[in-house]
Amino acid sequence: MQKTRIGVIFGGMSTENEVSVVSAKSIMENLNKDKYEIFPIYIGKDGTWYEQKENKQNEIENVIKYLKQLDILFPVLHGLYGEDGTIQGLFELIKKPYVGCGVLASSIGMDKAYTKIIFEKAGLKQAKCEYIRKYKNDDNYIYIDKTFDEKNMSLEEITEQIEKNIKYPMFVKPSNSGSSVGINKAKNKDELKNAIKYASEFDTKILIEQGIIGREVECAVLGNEEVIASVVGEVKSAEEFYSYDAKYNNENSKTEIPAKISEELSDEIRKQAIKAFKAIDGKGLARVDFFIEKETEKIYINEINTMPGFTSISMYPKLFEKAGISYQELLDKLIEMCN
């Protein structure tokens, strides 16, 4: 029986290039070699594509021609230019089946400002949020109200406006960024100003969210029309919040699978994870992150990740492993779904 030719694409031009490489390595090690012929494809930080063979990299001169020889494409690209609909659009143009969410779901899932709009329409509870823009050629910021009217303001005016609507602590995030890159917690006005300045280095769109005091939990989803949800896992960050360093560099950050929460809470989170996935028109896979407020046990959706980390210790495969689906079986199901 002829093996299916799988192009595993990793690296990329985002700040998550290195994480992507680790995820892809784990995927390639776990793909069933009796069923698949694996073609590793690395995209450098400068956007150059390489065929990787026996620890050697050969530049691919005609990317489209190379991709067309393959049966299925498996993008393991986290962040911009890989998880935001960009590469998915390329795959659609060359009519190649691929693993994961399509153009629309990928782009919505990557842009937190627009994810929030969709989640609000779907009736999913979220933390209070303010939305501003910052253009690099202008010292002023643009405050965007709930009706999407725009007002030019200085940073001082912006922070005063935000303080009227949201209480400290606040979380300041670039709208288009993954793995907590560019995110800071602000507990006072000076920290808020600095966090906004820092976030604007990563994106022109910036979100400021009300901090939810409580537990951070995650749920994995799998499917196309028929979607299943994994068990719920809890993130126990070694830092004040689950920053990039806390995720990848701090060994004291832990996860607990399954989370020690009531069956009722777990079922509701799983239900909301599927609802969020369908709301963005998700396909294949995603990881959906929530907060459980400490005092009330209310559930707040945080975000959806359409190409979650896929290392052997990443939450997505571990959550499904606990639900009875092995890493290799998970990969088989994702590949089957894109046909």
155 falls within a domain: yes
Report the pLDDT value the prediction gives residue 246, as an integer from 0 to 100: 47
Domain endpoint, select from 181, 210, 239: 210
Report the pLDDT value the prediction gives residue 148, as an integer from 0 to 100: 84
- Identify the CATH number of the domain in which residue 155 sits: 3.30.1490.20
Residue 72 reports pLDDT greater than 70: yes
Cα–Cα distance, 198 to 177 (Å, whole number): 13
Q: Are residues 231 and 317 in the same domain?
A: yes
Please give the residue range of the domain that contains residue 217.
109-125+213-337
Q: Are residues 224 and 315 in the same domain?
A: yes
Domain count, the chain: 3
pLDDT band per the 50, 70, 90 thresholds, residue 12: very high
The token pair at 113 is: 């400002």
Domain endpoint, select from 210, 228, 254: 210
Q: Are residues 138 and 206 in the same domain?
A: yes
Residue 75 reports pLDDT greater than 70: yes
Residue 243: which of 232, 233, 253 has the closest Cα? 253
Q: Are residues 65 and 88 in the same domain?
A: yes
Cα–Cα distance, 330 to 295 (Å, whole number): 36
Cα–Cα distance, 146 to 130 (Å, whole number): 9
Element (H, E) at 215: strand 214-223
Beta strand 4-11 with 36-43 is parallel
Residue 304 reports pLDDT greater than 60: yes
Handedness of CA 33, 225, 177, 91 (dihedral sign): positive
Report the pLDDT value the prediction gives residue 146, as an integer from 0 to 100: 82
Mean pLDDT within 65-76: 97
53 falls within a domain: yes
Collapsed DSSP state (helix, strand, coil) of residue 114: helix
Report the pLDDT value the prediction gives residue 241, as an integer from 0 to 100: 53
What pTM does this model have? 0.91
Residue 303 reports pLDDT greater than 70: yes
pLDDT band per the 50, 70, 90 thresholds, residue 140: confident
Q: Are residues 118 and 267 in the same domain?
A: yes
103 falls within a domain: no
- Identify the CATH number of the domain in which residue 113 sits: 3.30.470.20
- Based on DSSP, count helices (H) and strands (E) in the chain, helices before strands: 11, 16
In the chain, % of residues over pLDDT 90: 82
Residue with tokens 């809890």: 234
Domain endpoint, select from 194, 210, 226: 210
When comparing pLDDT for 294 and 140, which is higher?
294
Residue 170: which of 200, 140, 132, 196 has the closest Cα? 196
Q: Are residues 187 and 234 in the same domain?
A: no
Mean pLDDT within 274-296: 97
Average pLDDT, the chain: 92
DSSP string over 282-310? --EEEEEEEEEETTT--EEEEEEESS---
Mean pLDDT within 165-176: 94
**Are the C-beta atoms of residues 9 and 74 closer than 8 Å to each other?**
yes
Q: What is the pLDDT of residues 222-281, one digit of tens each?
A: 999 999 999 999 998 765 654 445 454 546 668 999 999 999 999 999 999 999 999 999
Q: Are residues 44 and 71 in the same domain?
A: yes
Report the pLDDT value the prediction gives residue 44, as an integer from 0 to 100: 96
Report the pLDDT value the prediction gives residue 145, as an integer from 0 to 100: 86
191 falls within a domain: yes
Residue 22 reports pLDDT greater than 60: yes
As a residue count, the chain comes to 339
135 falls within a domain: yes
Q: Are residues 235 and 167 in the same domain?
A: no
In the chain, % of residues over pLDDT 70: 93
